[in-house]
Each structure stands twice: as structure tokens, then as C-alpha cells.
Amino acid sequence: MASGKMMNDLLSLVVREVETDQAMQKLIEAASDSTRSRNVMVGLLDDEEGRLELVYGHGPEWSSKTEGEVIPITKHEGAGIVAYVAATGRPFMSGDVSDDPHYRDLFKTSQSEIAVPINDAHGRLRGVLNLESDRPDHYTQDDLCLALSISSLASLVLEREEMRRREEALIRIGSALDRALDEDELIDALLEVAGDVLRFQAVSIFLYDPVQDLFMLRGSVGQLKDLVGQVGYAAGEGVTGSVCASGQSVCINNPQADERWRGRYLELPSETIASFLAVAIVYRGKSIGAIRVLRRVTDNPYLDNHFTDEDQRLLDTIAEQVATGLENIRAVQKLLRSERMVAWGELSAKSSHMIGNRVFALRGDVNELGHMLKEREVQRDTLVELHQSLEINLVRIEEILQDFRDFLTATNMTPVTTDLNALVHESATEIFPRRSQVRLEFDLDPELPKVSADPRKLRRAISELVENALNYFEEGRLRVATRRALPEQVQSVGLPANKAFVAIEIQDQGPGVSADKKAQIFQPFYSGRVKGMGLGLSIVKGIAEAHGGNVYEAGQEGEGANFVILLPVADRH
């Protein structure tokens, strides 16, 4: 029997070594040393393919060619002792492998062999530990007991890795909850985690749509992907509709035998589904949808592909997170709709007042024109003044209406991959007056990466900032620059630190902006000038945010203003 000290040492090793690969490798080396084996290997189960793959090994014959070797799971003769142990779930020891009908000649040196299954807490196969010696009748019952003990420790290591993977899934979903701005973004993040980290074979999410009175398909990984937004279940319809209506989770093996089964809107053909798990998305006691995952019938009859209690608890936890995230998003959207209505009211009131003033002036000019036309002689100078007044007031009304349109459409984007330097240079040059005491200077980074931008909207933002600067000083320098954004710039406005951004800087030598007004100047209707509706910088902010960036003022009061637009670098794929 294995000594107590040895097992204590191995257990301590497993506890101390948190890296899965390192812990498994050390267990294999310990097995090799304690049993005097020539080669020791571990094959791990590939759930999707229903086979083993040699992942870890130690010994003179173990090499990169051996690593990755695929082993079927079968009782067929000649498939190998490891294949037979995986199929039967029972340990196996042979003193002379040449006489064993199951033996497969992997290493020419092998004479004796032990193979034991590595099972999880539910008794399901996770892999096989294999020990080989170049001596006949080398192994004893004590060696077999030791191999079984090491197999149990390997199971603990793999279970810890599984728990780490599930913890990662919950962290990623929690992070998505913090970042997601709308329901579709949250659902996409959930599906990505389910497919990437949790490796569910099919995942779908259904949410209640009060307009259609159905739990509509909102996202899917599987054959339903093209039907998102088109199909849904009535409350109580089929197993999925029952979960949505009752708020109670359901896990069913061989679901085709369930009396509620309808076989509608499935990610896999009905007859191929081995296990069905659906958990309700419940918020404040009311079901608002469900997350559904499926596993297909494996081609290998020796494998158990059913969901476990741990799978259900994990999905229940994810559903709780999603419910909270959805409600938060909906609350924010409700607040934004309310704020938009307030902004719309303010915009309508202010534009109505400003246009009304101009219309009043126009009416006065028209009345004056009417009186002039009744006179026998018309004074040309007076007529010229009247024409100029009419023209000025019409231009002012056009400017107000353009601001109105730009404010409402600032976030409507048609992005294309754009050479930012060329666009910035052209936009600033076009708006800059031909005769001016101000010097326009460019400092454009020639190595600047491209951005994905709406050129028309970005021109509007740059033109606004250049024109805004020129209204605050009459001589000096206006510097327009581009460069890669610094990490502290990105962090200062709360943009993702893991993304690359570029910066557009428009720096003047005017009076600058006081610290208490740096945030206020970007609010709608704020203006330090009489002209306009005070929407210019608000429009710039809307355009920057619609690009996935932001804008802020970084100058020092008394030393000039410095407006910085941050834009994300275009994806390279």
C-alpha cells in the first residue's frame, strides 16, 4: 500500500500547485518515481469528439509526437488497454501485455501496464492514467492502489480547473453587465461566454415581448441563430414555455419522452438531444424569460453526456445575473428616454423662442417693405439695408435649424475606415478664414493608425471646435494635432483600458476654460456666446461617443483651451 507520508506529500503538492498543467505533470512524475515506471501518461476526455487525447506524459518514449495522440473509447480488441479502461470504467493491470487481446503497441518497450480511470464526482469519465514498464510482471497490487490514489488526486486537480473555468464565466458575465449599454450587447456577451468558456453545445435565450405576448428568441448559438427575433413561445407552450411561465428551472434527460415536449424551435434535431436544461430569468418574483442549453447524444455509447446539478446551479446563477443586468439596462433606458424628452422639450422651447425672435424681425422687415412699395419713390439705400436685414435673419434661422438637425442626428453613424490625418487637415483648413491674425499649425503623427469613423460627422465635430476656438481669440496660434492616446487620457474619461485610441487635439491661445465649467460646457444649451443655441459642444460630444470615444477639455484657464477627441483604433480584421 502507498505510505501515508507519500499520500500526504502528493496531497500537499496538489494544494500548493494551483496551475493545472504543473500539478498534473508533477502527479505523473510522482507516479513514475514511486512505481518505477518507464512511461506514465494521462489521456483526457474530449467531450465533443467522444475520445481521449494524450495531454500529459513522462518517460524516455514520451515526446511531442506522442502528445496529442488520439485514443478511441471502445472495448474492441486491439484498440488499446487505455481505450478499454475508458469504455468500462474499471482499472486494469497486465503483467504481459503481449498476451492481452486489448493491447495496442504504442511503445515498443512496454511489457507490463496499469490503466485506471479518472472520474469526476458524478462518476463520469474525465480521463485515464496509464503506467507502463519495460519489465514483465513489474506491477503489484500496491502499485495499482497507488495509481488509483493518484487518479483521485488528478480528478481533484481537473475539478479545480473546472471550478476556475466556471468562476471565469461568472466574472466575464459580471463584467459584461457593467459594460453593456443595451440588451443585445448583454445577450451577445452571455452567448460568447456560454460557447467559449462553458462549452455548451447549444445555447438560446428567450425574453418576454409584451407587444407580441410571447417569450421571443433574442439570441442563440446553434441552428436557431437566423431566427432570432422571429420565433417565440407562448407561456406554457412546450418545456421552454413552461419554464418561462412558471419561473421554475427544468433539467430533463431524454426530453423527447416528456409529455410537455413539442420539438419546436430547437438548436439541434430533436432526436439528437440527450439532455435539456432550461432556467428561468426571474426578477422580483416575475419570470421575464429563460436561458436554454442542450447537449447532443454522443456517438460513443460509453459516455454520459447529461447535465449535472452543478450545471443547473451554474446556469441558475448566470440567470440571476442576467435578470439584474436586464433590469438595470431597462431602468437606464427608461431614464434616458425621460431625459431625452426633457431635452427635446428644452430644445423645442429654445428653438421656438429663437426662431420666433427672427420671424418677428422678418415680419417687421416685410411690413417695412410693404410701406416702401406704397410710396411713389423707393430709397435705394433703405432697400439695400432692408435686404441685408432679411438675409441675416434668414441665415440665422437656417443656422438654428441646422443645429437642431445636427443635435438630433449626432449619433446616427455610417462608419468607414478613415485616414484621420487627412480628414483633420482638410476639415480644419476648410473652416479656417483666409485672412486672420491667428496662425493655423498642424502637428499630425505620420504613424497614426486608421480609425473607423463617419467622415461627415467627424468633419462637423472638428469644424465646430476650430470655429469655437476662433471666437475666443483674435491673434496667436491655433494648434491642431493628432497622436496615439496616452493611457492616462483614456483612463481620465472612463474608456476601456484594453483598447487602443487616437487623440485629436485642438489647442488655442484664448482665455481657456475654468475648472468648474469643463464638464458643463458639453451640456445642451450651454453657451458662453450670444450667438447660437448652445448645442455645438454637445453635438461634438455626441459624435465622439457614437464613435466609441469621448471628448474633454484639457487646457489651463488663462493659458488657452485644449479640446481633445479620443477615437478607438479600427479593428485590424
CATH number at residue 32: 3.30.450.40
Q: Are residues 76 and 56 in the same domain?
A: yes
Strand, coil or helix: what is 440?
Answer: strand
**Among all chains, which residue has been given the C-alpha cell 422639450?**
345
Q: Are residues 103 and 44 in the same domain?
A: yes
Distances (CA, A) of 404 to 367, 394, 534: 28, 15, 11
Number of structural domains the chain divides into: 4
Q: Domain limits at 349?
A: 333-409
List of residues 6+ apart from 341 with CB closer than 8 A: none
The C-alpha atoms of residue 520 and residue 556 are separated, in whole angstroms, by 16
Q: Are residues 68 and 156 in the same domain?
A: yes
Q: Which of 330, 360, 392 is the last residue of a domain?
A: 330
525: left (phi over 0), alpha (psi -120 to 50) or beta: left
Sign of CA dihedral 550, 573, 194, 151: negative
Q: Are residues 423 and 547 in the same domain?
A: yes
* 482 neighbors 424 (Cβ within 8 angstroms): yes
* 420 neighbors 457 (Cβ within 8 angstroms): no
Burial of residue 203 (CB within 10 Å: 0-12, 13-18, 19+) is buried
Distances (CA, A) of 442 to 69, 364, 426, 459, 559: 61, 46, 11, 16, 19
Q: Are residues 196 and 326 in the same domain?
A: yes
**Among all chains, which residue has been given the C-alpha cell 428561468?**
280
186 - beta bridge partners? Answer: none
Q: Are residues 518 and 537 in the same domain?
A: yes
Q: Which of 96, 127, 162 is the last residue of a domain?
A: 162
Tell whether 373 is covered by a domain: yes
Q: Are residues 424 and 495 in the same domain?
A: yes
275 - beta bridge partners? Answer: 253, 295
pLDDT at position 529 is: 52
The C-alpha atoms of residue 465 and residue 459 are separated, in whole angstroms, by 10
* pTM as predicted: 0.55
Tell whether 522 is covered by a domain: yes
The C-alpha atoms of residue 444 and residue 561 are separated, in whole angstroms, by 19
Residue 355: all three cell numbers together: 426662431
Q: Which of 380, 409, 438 is the last residue of a domain?
A: 409
Q: Are residues 398 and 476 in the same domain?
A: no
Q: Where are the beta strands (DSSP E) in 213-285?
A: 214-221, 232-233, 250-253, 273-283
Q: Are residues 401 and 444 in the same domain?
A: no
CATH number at residue 445: 3.30.565.10
Q: Are residues 399 and 528 in the same domain?
A: no
Tell whether 573 is covered by a domain: no
Tell whether 498 is covered by a domain: yes
Find the distance separating the first CA and the last CA of the chain, reported in whole Å: 58
pLDDT at position 571 is: 67
Q: Are residues 47 and 92 in the same domain?
A: yes
* 91 neighbors 128 (Cβ within 8 angstroms): no
Helix residue ranges per DSSP H, 375-452: 380-409, 420-431
CATH number at residue 377: 1.10.287
Beginning with the edge strand found earlier in the chain, give each strand of the sheet holding 92-94 in spatial order.
70-71, 51-58, 39-46, 125-133, 112-119, 92-94
List of residues 6+ apart from 287 with CB closer than 8 A: 208, 243, 244, 245, 246, 247, 280, 281
Q: Are residues 125 and 200 in the same domain?
A: no
Nearest CA to 172 out of 313, 17, 325 is that of 325
459 - beta bridge partners? Answer: none
Beginning with the edge strand found earlier in the chain, give each strand of the sheet holding 202-209 in spatial order.
232-233, 214-221, 202-209, 286-296, 273-283, 250-253
Beginning with the edge strand found earlier in the chain, give each strand of the sheet holding 475-484 in spatial order.
437-444, 475-484, 501-507, 562-568, 550-553
Strand, coil or helix: what is 279?
Answer: strand
Mean pLDDT by 10 residues, the chain (573 residues): 70 84 93 94 86 93 88 89 92 92 89 94 90 95 94 92 82 74 80 70 89 91 85 92 93 89 85 89 89 82 80 87 82 63 58 62 76 75 79 72 62 80 92 85 93 88 89 89 92 83 93 85 65 69 88 90 92 54
